[in-house]
Amino acid sequence: MADTADRPGVAHLVLAPGVAHLDPETTVFGAMLDGWAAQQCARFLQPATIEQRRALLRRLAEFTNDYPWNWQCADLEEFIASCRRGTKPIVVSTARIYEITLRQFLTYVTDPRYGWPQECRDRFGVAPRQLLHEENSIVRVTEHEGDPRRRPSTYDEIQALFDAADARVEQIRAHHRKGAAAAMRDAALLKSVYAFGIRRREAWGLDLADLRHNPKAPQFGRFGALFVRWGKSSRGSPPKRWTVLTVPEMDWIVPVLEQWCTEVPWAPTPSTAPSTTCGAATSPVHSPMSVAPPGAPARSPPPSAPASLEARAPRALRPGSGLPKPQACPSHSGREHPTGTLPARCVRRCPDLPVAQGQAAESVALEQGAGGVALGSTRGRPHP
């Protein structure tokens, strides 16, 4: 008893002793699931993993219409066979996960250190047993168990995917809408996933500080390696960390990352932010996201962008870290304007802003052609 007093998942910790339950079978089975969940929590397993395992055991109990202490080998075998015959048949890897989950649960309830064998004997006169063995379990004989009908994408298909991501940037700019910088980020991130071979969660956790130098490949500069901090964890361990080197076959990713780090502007710090702006500080630099040839120099920001943008570093290469919200125009009743565009009224009232200078000539020409009617006006009122 001393060995099981403080062990998570012990029967007497999740099942009150000396209590006559109205439905003892259901109560004991629920206590088993709670005790097994406590044991897995002590191993630092993810809550989603624990809940999926509990759901599988409930499915098996519903399928057999019985409880673990009465299960037989034929019950588990028929359950796996029924999953293969369903409307959505499971594959070999899924069946193996089911068997591993059931084997771990039966190992837990048959371990005398947790007290469940004795508890079941006292209440029902029978104890649970380990029912999965080599004869009724899947044997892994190959390294890859994927469906042979699924093939990897060809180079032409990958190039078409990259071209679609690049075209989205130009499409957003052509319609003068917000989101060009976010589309550039998505295109760079998509190419990084392919070039470095990282998982979705590993790409989600990337930051610009994870770009590293490789002394064996100085030609790649600061993009010679990628430090992954959110690798796949296993058995309750923290996320694994590993470093992916930039290989010569994927050297086209270097100008892509260099363009993202040098040509996409970001919000200035509070100490350097101008006191009055009409969205000029948040205007995206118009630079295409096409893959440049290896060794090509990075393009400098256009003259319309503030000079301070060249030395300003982007915040993060991470999904969701887009541009800051547009600032309100102090000369236009506090209204916010879309990034990179200004109404004609603000072009007239804020002529000193760089982005206003770029639009002033076009706005005046359009207004003169319309007989002095303000841009965007639907009532024909003259511009103030």
Q: Are residues 300 and 171 in the same domain?
A: yes
The structural domain count of the chain equals 3
The CATH number that applies at residue 77 is 1.10.150
Q: Are residues 174 and 273 in the same domain?
A: yes
Run of H or E including 225 = strand 225-228
- The answer to whether the CB of 283 falls within 8 A of the CB of 265 is yes
Instruction: Identify the three-state secondary structure at position 183.
Output: helix
Whether residue 144 lies inside any domain: the answer is no
**What pLDDT, on the 0 to 100 scale, is given for residue 9?**
79
Q: Are residues 295 and 243 in the same domain?
A: yes
**What pLDDT, on the 0 to 100 scale, is given for residue 265?**
59
Whether residue 322 lies inside any domain: the answer is no
pTM of the model: 0.60
Residue with tokens 């969205």: 279
Q: Are residues 131 and 15 in the same domain?
A: yes
Whether residue 246 lies inside any domain: the answer is yes
Question: CA 50 from chain center: how many Å?
Answer: 21
Q: Are residues 124 and 15 in the same domain?
A: yes
pLDDT tens over the chain, length 384 residues = 445 556 777 888 888 777 778 899 999 999 999 999 999 999 999 999 999 999 999 999 999 999 999 999 999 999 999 999 978 899 998 999 999 999 999 999 999 999 999 999 999 999 999 999 989 999 888 888 778 888 889 999 999 999 999 999 999 999 999 999 899 999 999 999 999 999 999 999 999 899 999 999 999 999 999 999 999 888 778 899 999 999 999 999 999 999 888 877 553 333 443 433 333 333 333 333 333 334 444 444 433 333 332 333 333 333 333 333 444 444 444 444 444 444 544 544 454 544 444 444 444 444 444 343 333 333 333 333
Q: Give the residue from 296, 322, 294, 291 showing the smallest Cα distance to 163.
A: 291
